[in-house]
A and B are shown apart, each in its own frame.
Chain A
Amino acid sequence: NAGVTQTPKFQVLKTGQSMTLQCAQDMNHEYMSWYRQDPGMGLRLIHYSVGAGITDQGEVPNGYNVSRSTTEDFPLRLLSAAPSQTSVYFCASSWSPESDTQYFGPGTRLTVL
């Protein structure tokens, strides 16, 4: 199993550009989530999904959209990138929403100029 994969690993955007961060897992996990981590900070939850077709907002959802058309994929879209969105983004998955054992991807380092 590849576990949780994220692409790209690095990305530089200009203010106002849009892009999609990809996340995929091959463990048949129902629960997937996106976090951002700023320097010296913990992880903050952006959006999460408890299954295909179901998504919900986390702590910091503004400026981001998600969709969950399949169990495996959970892309994160930046609609109009802003410098405040410069961060490292982690995708995670787990067997169920009640499971505290989340598996994290390697992260995407995003810089918005």
Chain B
Amino acid sequence: LAKTTQPISMDSYEGQEVNITCSHNNIATNDYITWYQQFPSQGPRFIIQGYKTKVTNEVASLFIPADRKSSTLSLPRVSLSDTAVYYCLVGDSGAGSYQLTFGKGTKLSVIP
């Protein structure tokens, strides 16, 4: 299984840019990197996905270096509503099945 390592928690003030880095040293060639966001008492919600270099959407940016052993989720100018747990996932396509493995995620607290 491709495992990921993220910081357990982060604090940020409103209006700041937040960067959450995820390590995935044993990522497979065909694996994509996906980030989810989860608010309390809700199911996770897809944020962004990438394979290499940089991906940007209306919510976030994802930076992936050439070796793909890590990735960084960047949230521009966070607000209080961005307080949530953020999960970095790398798909496991081994053994003919496809399973996503969720770690403990990074709990982001945005401070006024």
Seen from chain A, the residues whose Cβ lies within 8 Å of a Cβ on chain B are: 4, 31, 35, 40-45, 48, 50, 56, 58-59, 90, 92, 97-98, 100-107
Contact = CB atoms under 8 A, between A and B. Distances in A.
Nearest to A6: B43
A92 B104 CA distance: 18
Contact of A43 (B41, B44, B46, B49): B44
Contact of A42 (B43, B93, B103): B103
Interface of B: 32, 34, 41-46, 49, 87, 89, 91, 93, 97-105
B104 A42 contact: yes
B95 to A, nearest CB: 10
B104 A41 contact: yes
A45 B42 CA distance: 17
Contact of B97 (A44, A97, A104, A106): A97
Contacts of A40: 104
Nearest to B49: A100
B43 A107 contact: yes
Given A90-B43, A102-B46, A106-B43, A97 B98 contact: yes
A105 B43 contact: yes
